[in-house]
Amino acid sequence: AQKVTQAQTEISVVEKEDVTLDCVYETRDTTYYLFWYKQPPSGELVFLIRRNSFDEQNEISGRYSWNFQKSTSSFNFTITASQVVDSAVYFCALSVAGTASKLTFGTGTRLQVTL
């Protein structure tokens, strides 16, 4: 069985601070995919990134960056120079190859960015 743990329930930062959201996963499979989704106050789920288990390169997209480390089973998400619009719940999720892309979600981290 797969498991995703997001130990940080809520994080509050002041605008322009950097913030890292932690994600730790468990799986016995060797081929799997990791995801981050954003859920703003409006409630929809927005796909942010997918990472394959065989690609440990870090990724940067604007103010967002992701650090994937298989050695520690972690897939952390950093927002640089946070903005109020980043306020949302962020979910980390995992799917295993050959399982119809079913997602196992973490419980989410609520990020509050204030002025």
Which residue ranges make up the site for another protein (CB under 8 A)?
4, 6, 9, 33, 35, 37, 43-45, 47, 50, 91, 93, 95, 100-103, 105-108
Residue with smaller CB distance to another protein, 33 or 64 = 33
Residue with smaller CB distance to another protein, 28 or 44 = 44
Closest distance of CB 107 from another protein, Å? 5
CB 92 within 8 A of CB 25: yes
CB 32 within 8 A of CB 94: yes
How many Å apart are CA 74 and CA 68, to the nearest integer?
A: 6
Closest distance of CB 24 from another protein, Å? 14
Residue with smaller CB distance to another protein, 44 or 115 = 44
Taking CA 67 as the corner, what is the angle to CA 64 and CA 72, rounded to the nearest 5 degrees?
A: 155
CB 24 within 8 A of CB 104: no
Residue with smaller CB distance to another protein, 64 or 105 = 105
3-state secondary structure of 22: coil
